[in-house]
Chain A
């Protein structure tokens, strides 16, 4: 058992620093998180306004 080194601010994750089991670099999860963090944001009102305007114009 390797003790976790969470106190270190070296920012090394618990698993291997460079690649995880699939051979993908660790930061790939960060890339998805980056994307998903925007998905999770509430939609600004400007978009709701735009979408509802589309409706009106498209009704014709």
Chain B
């Protein structure tokens, strides 16, 4: 029992509602995969995470309000699953260079100033709360307000996180200096876990996060 303000009667779902839920959930899967890939870097882990989130979303479908954004709602679920898993598994910012190289190739004929795989690696060196903020706003196209809702924090906080993330990436890319967030570095490892705790403390409440 945390917040009674959000407690209210859930309307009975019609068959039509259920079909619509399923349809919308299906449509949003590619977005969940893209968000998860950005969060955790490894495609296999990302897909596992999405499957977990889909199951949770399905189980919690009565709490989805028809007409609201399925993408935002499921992103909250995905994000919370990510935080939970990463803390449980003692996430170490693993990054599968080979796989990323294969998957993140720029489309032919479009020469990028930097390789997408470098960009992705740089992204993965960011603290998780900045990474997710940048992913939501910069890649997912969410507004600051939507991103703040998803992360369960103030709009100003999101703006600041995105700003810091952008500055960090810009400087890494400008200097051509994209550090590995090393698994073997205990200090970095501890820092990541600490960050995860802080991020988790601000987890969004807009969705099925309590169970």
Contact = CB atoms under 8 A, between A and B. Distances in A.
Asked if A pairs with B, the answer is: yes
Interface of A: 6, 11-13, 17-18, 25-28, 30-39, 41, 43-44, 46-47, 50-51, 54-55, 58
Interface string B185-200: 0000000000000000
A30 B114 contact: yes
A41 B33 contact: yes
B79 interface: no
A51 B50 CA distance: 12
Interface in B46-105: 47, 50-51, 54-55, 58, 103-104
Contacts, number: 99
Interface stretch (B4-12, B148-156, B166-174, B201-209): B166-174
B139 A51 contact: no
Interface residues of B, number: 41
Contacts of B184: none
Nearest to A44: B47
A31 B138 contact: yes
B164 interface: no
Contacts of A30: 112-114, 116, 119
A37 B169 contact: no
B140 A27 contact: no
